[in-house]
Amino acid sequence: RLEQTSPDHGSRPPLVAECDAVVVGAGFGGLYAIYRLRELGLKVIGIEAASDVGGTWYWNRYPGARCDIPSLLYSYTWSEELRQEWRWSEKYAGQPEILRYAQHVADRFELRSLIRFDTRVISADWDEAGESWTVRTDRGDCIVASTCVMATGNLSVPNKPKLPGVERFRGPIYHTGQWPHQEIDFSGLRVAVIGTGSSGVQTIPMVAKSASRLTVFQRTPNYSVPARNAPLSDADIAAAEPMIAKYRESLETPEFGRVPSNAFDAPVPAREVQWARYEQLWEQGGGGILTAFPNILTDEAVNDVACDFVRDKIRGMVDDATTAEALSPKDYPLGVKRICIDTGYFATYNLPHVDLVDLRAEPLTTVTETGLETAVRSFALDALVLATGYDAMTGALAAMNIRGRSGVTLNEAWADGPRAYLGLMVSGFPNLFVVTGPGSPSVIGNVIHACENHVEWITACLGSMRAKGLTRIEPERDAERAWMAHVADAASRTLYPKANSWYQGANIAGKPRVFMPYVGQGYRHRIAQIAQRNYEGFVLR
Ligand code: N01
């Protein structure tokens, strides 16, 4: 009984159509795919479950939702006109502004007319004889297309934990990833937030502003660094130009989270040297701390000092020593769960009406009609906010009933964990492309740039196939196996596997543990080379 935005299911006749490409999802990946494939001369039909474009930024309307990558970089690079005409107002853009940007792109490039909104794909079946996908939707549409591009997002299927007794709760329940469109007023209410990942860390200070009492239920504390968000002046924008130009020219965007190629032979700096650098980056704000030293994500001796530094900062910001201790992560390295970037998060716990409940010390036992109970205490509540994350990277694909060659479903193919050659295509599923799929860098770094890279690769691939009169592409099983082994090996050389993160599916009960994003180096060069070598590892005909 979640309070959420319901799609507008006003009547429209079902669409029965044939086209060259179906693009599922109208977030930043899908919008660009629709644009590029149309430019290629293909007949494209876009399908989007929401009532508008924006993907993640359509759904994540919770108070405080904001990007953790500077807005001047969290932008498309493919249109210089777009870049010149769009002006971001803040260093880190808030959700409403990012959504307006996506809407502007859709209008500016006339993409909306190609998209069926309020429409969810319920199945996609490969027809071997016809070499086409039959895509069906919950609106009765049946679209036959030679190519399917899944741009369904990495963080688009909310994780709604089955809290015992939750159906009894009489107050409203909100999930940060499905926030209602109308303003939610928590004034005078006793509110609980469950979850302290990026979403929780952003929304907790905002909810605290209006709630009469806020209780945060934390299972795992997170490392969080201050955003130091600020308005962007014209001078800031001009000063950032060389950096943006550099990013546009280079094939890799070196954001935090990436493991640079010099990580493995970098020296371990002295503790004082590290501390001084972390101090500088802390003052600067944002995720820069993860770029402090090349080996911060590969060498525990370096990472340990960074962890000590952040814990020290937490102790300095939180008045109550027990609360500070509970808020300090201790059992995993910094940055191997997505680092949180906050505005006033830790100081929020100094407010008299805000409390932290450490679920490791007192586990949640049940939800009642009027609140929550832990093994130790009861909490009377008026509203519940779930900031409990997502079935990341595979959730949306798994929900679509995709059936490939020989009738094998994607869920069957992925029973032991997801596999995709280059994170782009899955063997057994011809002509089905995944934008930022498992096995690609995707969520490690700047997702907009990752989407651009994949869409450009897919468009070039389809263009080259058309030029050669080819109609079908599928990865070889061996190439896919070797790639996923390489993805696992790249992760194992870093500290990433040392946390129970959503990167490896650890947040979803029963999900196979596979480290999904590619954290190795040179990904863009690699996939470009593979295309140049006549799509090595793919079978085309
Ligand atoms: O989700 P999360 P998120 N009982 O999975 C807890 C991006 N993002 O929505 O760690 C109690 O990180 C869970 O506890 P634990 C960003 O990439 C970006 O916050 O599993 N607690 C955890 O504390 C990010 O990483 C931005 O022990 C439960 C929390 O819920 C990703 O999205 C903003 C529980 C979930 O944290 C996901 O972030 C927002 C249970 N049963 C999101 N189940 C920015 O750009 C889960 N939890 C800034």
- State the pLDDT at residue 245: 79
Nearest-atom number in ligand 1 for the CA of 65 is: 33
Element (H, E) at 403: strand 402-403
Compute the distance from residue 210 Cα to the ligand 1 centre, in Å.
22
Task: List, for residues 97-124, the tens digit of each pLDDT value.
Answer: 999 999 999 999 999 999 999 999 999 9
**Does residue 56 line the site of ligand 1, with CB under 6 A?**
no
Query: Average pLDDT, stretch 215-242?
Result: 95
pLDDT computed for residue 6 by the predictor: 67
Confidence (pLDDT) at 1: 66
Pocket test for ligand 1, best of 99, 199, 340, 343 (most atoms within 8 A of CB): 199
- Nearest alpha carbon, ligand 1 atom 12: 197
pLDDT score for 7: 63
Percent of the chain at pLDDT exceeding 90: 93
The residue type found at 437 is: G
Q: For residue range 20-58, what is the model confidence (pLDDT) as tens digits?
A: 999 999 999 999 999 999 999 999 999 999 999 999 999
User: What was the pLDDT predicted at 258?
Assistant: 85
Give the per-residue pLDDT at 35: 98
Q: Is the pTM of this model over 0.95?
A: yes
pLDDT of residue 246: 78
Per residue, the 3-state secondary structure of 232-255, as one string, reads CCHHHHHHHHHHHHHHHHCCCCCC
Q: Is residue 518 within 8 Å of 439, Cβ to Cβ?
A: yes
Whether residue 175 has its Cβ less than 6 Å from ligand 1 = no
Element (H, E) at 374: strand 371-374
CA–centroid distance, 507 to ligand 1, in Å, is: 9
Residue of 154, 373, 388 best suited for mutating to test ligand 1, as the one with most atoms within 8 Å of CB? 388
In this structure, which residue's CA is closest to atom 40 in ligand 1? Answer: 161
User: Is residue 95 lining ligand 1, measured as CB closer than 6 Å?
Assistant: no
Q: How far apart are CA 61 and CA 77, in angstroms?
A: 25
Determine whether the shortest distance from the Cβ of 134 to ligand 1 is under 6 A.
Answer: no
* pLDDT tens per residue across span 59-80: 999 999 999 999 999 999 999 9
The average pLDDT across 402-420 equals: 97
d(CA 193, ligand 1 centre) in Å: 12
Average pLDDT of the residues in 189-209: 98
The pLDDT score that the predictor gives to residue 251 is 56
